[in-house]
Amino acid sequence: MVIYLSGEVDEARLDEMTPRQIVTELDKHVVGQTAAKRAVAVALRNRVRRQKLPPDMAADVMPKNIIMIGSTGVGKTEIARRLARMSNSPFLKVEASKFTEVGYVGRDVESMIRDLTEIAVEMTRVEKAEEIADKAEAAAEERILDLLLPSSSRATHFDFDAEFTDQPEPSGEDQLTREDGGANRTREKLREQLRAGKLNNRIVELEVRERSFPTIEVAGPQGVEEMGINMKDMLGNLFQGRTKRRKMRVDEAMENLIQEEEERLIDMDAVARTALDRVESSAIIFLDEIDKIAGRESGAGPDVSREGVQRDILPIVEGTTVNTRYGMVKTDHILFIAAGAFHVSKPSDLIPELQGRFPIRVELESLTIEDFKRIMTEPKNSLVKQYRALLETEGIELDFTADAVDAVARFAALVNEQTEDIGARRLHTILEKVLDEISFEGPDIEPKQQKVDAAYVSRALSEIVKDQDLSRYIL
Ligand SMILES: Nc1ncnc2c1ncn2[C@@H]1O[C@H](COP(=O)(O)OP(=O)(O)OP(=O)(O)O)[C@@H](O)[C@H]1O
Ligand SMILES: [Mg+2]
């Protein structure tokens, strides 16, 4: 049996991971790109190191923000995604370009921090909920038993639609005369049946809190989400007190009650405090598409000027205090990982102040045929494994041979070269095309063993290979 002392198990695990171990973990999902993996691993480790320093020094150690440079589809976002899953730190991915879009004029970039805080609060709440899950369940069970057994409480609503044969339900009068021992025995019997799921079909009536309130979208130029949040809070409070009685199945009631008990047992103020703490000391923001805001000319037309967006982002990266609905958040130690293709612009096109706040630059390499082969087969949930599993659900045994993998990889490289280089994304389009026939036939296909080899691949793609213009549209 595992005993958890607190909710920090996973965090402890990451704390103990050396940069080398972090890279090894990333290797399971992302092929190649060692430089980028090393950079993020070191940045993460440095934060753990910082937290072990005496406070006055720790305050001065700034995060080593990273810019990942690499053309499209080489794994920039993939690295960030995997990191997020591993790190158990509050993690937010935003496209820097969205701040320049027409619809977002005036959207303040501080919303990143507010979103991040929401994520941290939810994360912390879920952890706390796991900690008290047993308690909540036990309490919910007692309440269900109270509902089912009127003798032990004042709740008298019960009826049954399912056959409930084990013992005749005692009538109200019987119970008044019954001594405690008997009642207890009945209760324990009922508990056993409840746990075995035998009572799931019975209906109980339950007081539930009214949750639905009219959705009102409040959008104004001055910070959409802040207003939205406040409105929701207000309305939430307005409707919170309202309850209504609802009939439901026992299993549904159990879920409802567990949730209610959780809410009762979790101290949301403490959760918010922990969450704010986590945001300040260990959060990561992944700023994707940063190249889209590089360039100093102010955009012609309705777009917000890119330089303007950079200037807005600057204080947050630099370290500022942002007001969220859970309290103030200092952004000084949030780690920023930016990424961009930088085809048109270069990192040096960013305003100097921002460049200075991203001291680490790593380049991601273009993917080779060898990489493509590995991407298709090696990662834990690689593409070929995904297709095999998908088809298996319909009883098809897909045998995707090594020379087929080779053929697809070569073909992907060729198309990337001749048309647009979209990196490993090309594999998705090509594989989809190759497996089109089998996917379409699905359960009707005969025989159930389907072999895809190099010959099959070239047959499936032959029409498209011939015609370059066609391949431009199809792949
Ligand atoms: N090195 C890699 N290892 C494994 N899979 C990869 C790798 N590079 C790309 N992929 C696959 O290609 C897809 C696209 O990669 P990703 O989202 O990381 O691209 P990107 O570098 O962020 O590109 P963009 O600049 O267009 O955002 C991923 O879903 C992933 O499956
Ligand atoms: Mg990306």
Q: Per-residue pLDDT for 458 more than 70?
A: yes
Q: How far is the CA of 298 from the centre of ligand 1 (A)?
A: 30
Buried b (16+ CB within 10 A) or exposed e, 4-40: eeebeeebeebbebebeebbebbbebbbbbeebbbbb
Q: How far is the CA of 351 from the centre of ligand 1 (A)?
A: 27
Q: Whose CA is nearest to atom 7 of ligand 1?
A: 75
Q: Which residue has the higher pLDDT, 372 or 89?
A: 372
Q: Per-residue pLDDT for 444 more than 90?
A: no
Q: How far is the CA of 226 from the centre of ligand 2 (A)?
A: 27
Q: Whose CA is nearest to atom 6 of ligand 1?
A: 75
Q: Among 425, 429, 430, 431, which is best to mutate for testing ligand 1, by the most ligand atoms less than 8 A from CB? A: 425
Q: What tokens were used for 293?
A: 């805001």
- In the structure, what pLDDT confidence band is assigned to residue 472 with cuts at 50, 70 and 90? low
Residue 297 has a pLDDT of 56
Q: How far is the CA of 13 from the centre of ligand 1 (A)?
A: 27
Q: Whose CA is nearest to atom 24 of ligand 1?
A: 72
Q: What is the mean pLDDT of the chain?
A: 80
- In the structure, what pLDDT confidence band is assigned to residue 369 with cuts at 50, 70 and 90? very high
Query: Is-cis flag, bond preceding 379, omega within 30?
Result: no
Whole-angstrom distance, CA of residue 9 vs CA of residue 11: 5
Q: Whose CA is nearest to atom 11 of ligand 1?
A: 424
Q: How far is the CA of 291 from the centre of ligand 1 (A)?
A: 17
Mean pLDDT throughout 40-68?
Answer: 89
Atom of ligand 1 nearest to the CA of 70: 21
**3-state secondary structure (DSSP) of residue 284:** strand
Residue 15 has a pLDDT of 67
Helices H, strands E: what count in the chain? 21, 12
Task: Return the minimum-mean-pLDDT range out of 105-109, 192-196, 395-399.
Answer: 105-109
Atom of ligand 1 nearest to the CA of 71: 25
Give DSSP secondary structure letters for 224-268: HHHHHHHHHHHHHHHHHT-EEEEEEEHHHHHHHHHHHHHHHHS-H
Atom of ligand 1 nearest to the CA of 30: 3
How far does CA 274 lie from the centroid of its chain?
20
Q: Are 74 and 427 in contact (CB under 8 A)?
A: no
pLDDT per residue over 21-32, tens digit each?
999 999 999 999
Atom of ligand 1 nearest to the CA of 74: 8
Mean pLDDT throughout 370-383?
Answer: 91
Tell me the residue type at 174.
Answer: D
**Nearest CA-CA partner of 190 in 222, 241, 153, 218:** 153
Strand partners, 95: 288
Q: Are 434 and 460 in contact (CB under 8 A)?
A: yes
Whole-angstrom distance, CA of residue 124 vs CA of residue 282: 13
Mean pLDDT throughout 325-351?
Answer: 90
Q: Among 29, 37, 67, 77, which is best to mutate for testing ligand 1, by the most ligand atoms less than 8 A from CB? A: 77
Residues with CB under 6 A from ligand 1: 30-33, 70, 72-78, 341, 375, 379, 423-425
Mean pLDDT throughout 122-140?
Answer: 91
pLDDT per residue over 139-156, tens digit each?
999 988 888 887 544 444
Which H or E run includes 452?
strand 449-452
Residue 157 has a pLDDT of 42
Residue 363 has a pLDDT of 92
Residue 330 has a pLDDT of 93
Mean pLDDT throughout 440-453?
Answer: 85
Most confident of 151-160, 243-252, 322-331: 322-331
Q: How far is the CA of 69 from the centre of ligand 2 (A)?
A: 11
Q: How far is the CA of 20 from the centre of ligand 1 (A)?
A: 22
Q: Among 28, 72, 78, which is best to mutate for testing ligand 1, by the most ligand atoms less than 8 A from CB? A: 78
Mean pLDDT throughout 86-115?
Answer: 78
pLDDT per residue over 281-316, tens digit each?
889 999 998 988 887 554 455 455 778 888 888 889
pLDDT per residue over 171-192, tens digit each?
444 444 445 677 788 888 888 8
pLDDT per residue over 208-244, tens digit each?
876 655 554 444 444 444 444 555 555 555 555 567 8
CB neighbour list of residue 325: distance below 8 Å, 6 or more residues apart: 114, 117, 229, 230, 233
Task: Return the minimum-mean-pLDDT range out of 59-68, 76-85, 200-209, 461-470.
Answer: 461-470
Q: Per-residue pLDDT for 271 more than 90?
A: yes
Most confident of 239-248, 408-417, 455-464: 408-417
Q: What sign results for the dihedral spanned by CA atoms 231, 233, 103, 345? A: positive
Report the percentage of the chain scoring pLDDT > 70: 77
**Which ligand is nearest the CA of 376, by number?**
1
Q: How far is the CA of 82 from the centre of ligand 2 (A)?
A: 13
Q: What tokens were used for 455?
A: 């010959």
Residue 38 has a pLDDT of 93
Residue 228 has a pLDDT of 47
Q: How far is the CA of 83 from the centre of ligand 1 (A)?
A: 14
Give, to the nearest 10 degrees, the angle between helix 268-282 and helix 34-51. 120
Mean pLDDT throughout 342-347?
Answer: 85
Atom of ligand 1 nearest to the CA of 288: 27
CA angle 208–167–150, rounded 5-degree value: 35
Atom of ligand 1 nearest to the CA of 423: 9
Predicted TM-score (pTM) of the model is 0.77
